Each structure stands twice: as C-alpha cells, then as structure tokens.
Structure 1
C-alpha cells in the first residue's frame, strides 16, 4: 500500500517556518530500501522495555512490558529511512515508543519523544483555562490557512473540535488533549493526541497521531503516558525555585496554545505523527500557524514576531 510521504516537509517549506516531523505510513512510497532490507533492519533494533532513562530531560519512562522504546539514533533511522521523513526534521527526537506487539513496519500509533527546556510552566490556571476559546480561535483562523493550503495544491483541512478537551492531572503534572481534524478526500477524520509532562526545567512531550476510528486505543495509550513519565530528583515539578529557576512565562492555556499553534516556530520540537489514512497533516505547525500567530502573541503578552526566530 502506497502512502504519500514528506508532505510535512513540503507544507512547512511553503510556510517558511521550521519543519517538524511528519511521519508516514511504514514502508512509504519514498522509501528506497527493499522489503527484505527493511525487515533485516528491524531485526537489529534494540527494543528497550521497563524503566527507560531520558537523560536530556533527566526523566524516566516506566514502560513495563506494554511498550518498547527505541533510542534517539534508531528512532531517527526509523523516521527517516523507513517512514520517509527528511533528516533535518528529526534533530530533536529523543526516542520513539511503540506498542509491544507492533513492529515499526506495521500500521499502528507511535509516540515521538521530545523535550522542551523553555522552563517552568505554571499550573495556576488549571481551573480557569478557557480551552473552548483556544478551539474557537483555531476555527476562526481556518479560512486564511486553507487559502494558503489551496494555493499550494493541498487538500483543505477543517478543525472538527476536541476529540478530548485538555485535561490536567495535578498529581502527575500531566496535560493531555486531542484534536479531531477533517481533511477533504480522507474517509476518516484525523486524530492528534498530545501528552505533556511538566517538570522543573521544562516539558517532556509525547506526541501521537492516528485516525478517529482508533480514538479509544490511542486514548488508552495517552492516559498511560500521562502516568509513565517521572522526573529524577532535582528536576521534579515540586522542586521549582522561583528565585533561581527559569520560568516559561505562561501557564497551561499557553502550553496548549503552543502545542496546537506555534510549537514548531518556537522550536520546542512539536512532532506530528502521520500514520494510516493521514496524508497531508502538519498538525500544530503550518495548519494552525496563521490562526494562532496573533492569538499566541496576545496570550503570552509577546509580539508574535518574536516566535518566528
């Protein structure tokens, strides 16, 4: 089965913003290795289970036997050599998590791990964040964004709404949300799940994407991911010291705003995982960049042009 690949690179290049990762269905049309070579490569992968350390974030993923982890080098090879992503788009990747019973050559969700060292994100707005307004702003900006997509020759994309509204767990300091996208020509709506774990010095990101018919499956995995990551001593959320530590300058609403609108432009490594039935998604980057450019500037009290560098 052939899939369209490297769409994210083309879309992002057209928008003149830094590229995030857009992953394609395994064994994409652009892949050059033969099926035999691909299968041989998969056999060489070092699948890590149990407790997996993410040194850059000073964090640990407690995966048990339900999932396996591929380290940065192998994850990047999978993303580039098997899934057809440009090498320049995977520089921030710290690993890839897959279900234990799935190969990287099979149709399945996967979670790309990245780390944003932007500083401490306050959760003071946990009970007051207006996520409905964020969604409304996204929808309000669709017209201009789709006009640019149409000029570039890409299908129109519409935000249906939250597949899961942002939900914050104060005990684990994890924020999870999901969006439902409709892409003209696709039989199934697209699903983008975002998991963020807040730490003293930044945010650990785990980004998953599939399609709406698999919502229940991905939701279960996303809920698990909200609990599997912990920060080591010295980097936990509770250890933040306002007199010495860097603050991100925004709260949970701002984190969601970045996640769905300008995370790539802010170079925090937002990754969209493109899997079965998804053709033209650069979710959280180009698709919503126009809509959120001004909104995020107002939300964070910054000029939007400071986010482009």
Structure 2
C-alpha cells in the first residue's frame, strides 16, 4: 500500500487537508502534467545543507531531498492543499527511485526555533501518563469531531514508544492511529533532533503495514542529520540562549495535539508551535480518511491516465 501522501497534513496541521484535491485550484490532474511536474523537481543527493536549521542531512544515494520551494509545490499542486499549507516547510525527503506521487512515505522537514529543549529528565519521562492523557482527550474531542462531520480518532497505541538517543539527541516515536471510517490504521512517525536553539523535525506518514520499512527509514534519517558547529545541542549557552519551558514529553504531547498539551499544563507549547497544532484536530480526521481510501493510489491513477472517480482505493501492500 502506497497511500500516505494526503495524510501528511496530520503532522503539519494543514487546514486545507479536508478539502478534496479536485476542489483546490491549481491542483494537477492531467497525467502528462503530473509526470512532467515530478520530473522537474530538484533532487539533491549526498550531503544536503538545510540552511534555516543550520544542519546537514547526509543522505548518500539511498534518499533524495526536494528543497523548500519545490516541496511547497508538491504539497499544494500535487497533494491538493491550500497555498499557505507549505509555510515553514524546508523540504521533503523521499526514497531513491521513487516519485513524489508514488512513494510509501515522505519525510517533511521543518525547524522550530522554540528554544533549547532540555533532556535532563529523559530517563524519568512518564510516557504512560501521556497515553492516558491522549485517550482522555479523545473522549472530550471525539463528540466535537463527530458533530462537525469528521470521523472519530483513536490512539491505538505506540507503534514505537518514545525513544531518546542521548548521543545523537534524537527523540523518535510513532503512533498507531485508527479513524472510525477507515479500515487501515495509520502510522505517524516523528523524528525530532535537538539543537542549540530549537528542534529539527522529520515527520513521516504511512500505513501500519509499512511499519518495519518506515521504522528503518526513521532510524536512518535520525542518524543522517548533523547540526553545524555552533548550532549543535552541546553548543547551548544558558547565559545567552533561550530555553524552552518543556522537555521531551512536551514535544511528544505537542505532536499529539494542543488539547493534550493544555491538559499537561504545557502552555508554552501553544506559543512555540502556533497554528500548526491549533488546526490539528479539525484537519487530521479528514486527511486520514483521504489516506485510508487510497488518495495516493488515485493520484497515481491520474498520472497513469485515469481519474479520481474511477480508481479504486489501493489497499494492497
């Protein structure tokens, strides 16, 4: 199954995710146009400098990087999100030999300059308590979602429990998410790399059948990122640098949605991450619905000369 792209809005909090691609102006539908668009994308291999994050991704030849302008075009013209949906996106990482419309996953790269996130409590973070908060939040939010016409959302469990590598200052976790109108559970992988003054984020959306593959890619990408001298975690200077008011559990809470962050008392996250997460609860359900019904499969159908209406959901591995 290669049907992840429309669900990418979950991790970005894109407010246009609920709008069908066909209803968005400027979205590509013609076979030749889609293929030509993809071929024209800039592809960077090897060592890729992500300037705003003061970091380098050592991708080798296994992956390629689509830089910011092209990545925003992919999000808007190919995936059918509104023009402002690509704000803050620094690029997208794809597997080699795969296209932007035919891929099992894509890692959207962003950098949140929210201050230095301390890992001093890494060994004592209580992620089980966070699970309880997520599920309590679902009980409060799902009736609102249902009333608004969105499918209800259920956190099935960790596809990978939050794991912190103190040597690389890398936090990785993955959620198994089920939506009420979807037969296929969604896999949301988060890779967060701590720097001197913020967090480099690589967000990956796929399906649970791709867990093994995406887990391997997440580990590889976490090890592929390196901050420049002066921007690394160890370069933090408390006398001059801003310090985030939350730790590792706060990052995971924010990834699960603002309502959870509020319950945990992590109000600083609201200011740090802004509308990206404020939009999450409205956008996520519809985006995942499009994912589970094979949006990317239909996208490939368009590239192969078919139409959205005619293509059946792609639910096979």
Q: What's the TM-score, normalizing by structure 1?
A: 0.79
* Match in the other structure for 1:47: 43
Counterpart Cα distance in 1 of 2:275 and 2:121:
21
From 268, 271, 274, the equivalent of 1:267 is: 274
User: Relative contact order (C-alpha < 8 Å, sep 6+): which is higher?
Assistant: 2
Q: Please list, as runs of the form range in 1=range in 2, the aligned pairs for 1:49-198 lying within 5 A after superposition.
A: 49-198=45-194
- Root-mean-square deviation over aligned CA pairs: 3.0
Does residue 274 of structure 2 align to residue 278 of structure 1? no
Residues 190-238 of structure 1: CA deviation (Å, up to 9, x unaligned): 1100000000010000000111111111101111111111100110100
Matched residue of 1:141: which SS? helix
SS at match of 2:81: coil
1:124-154 deviations in Å (ceiling 9; x for gaps): 1110000111111000111221111111111
Equivalent residues in 2 for 1:206-225, closer than 5 Å: 206-225=202-221
- When the two structures are aligned, how many residues end up with a matched partner? 268
Tell me how far apart the structure 2 counterparts of residues 123 and 21 of structure 1 sit (CA, whole Å): 32
Q: Which runs of 5+ in 1 are unaligned?
A: 12-17, 282-309
* Separation in 1, partners of 2:290, 2:166: 35
Greater helix share, 1 or 2? 2
Q: How many angstroms apart in 2 are the aligned matches of 1:123 and 1:7? A: 30
Contact 2:5/2:205, CA 8 A, preserved across alignment: no
- Say if 1:207 and 1:23 are closer, same or farther in 2 by CA, change over 3 A: farther
1:103, 1:5 → 2: CA distance?
Answer: 12
The CA deviation at 1:33 is 3.7
TM-score by length of 2: 0.77
Shift of 1:182: 1.0
SS in 1 for 2:243: coil
Change (3 A) 1:22 1:120: farther
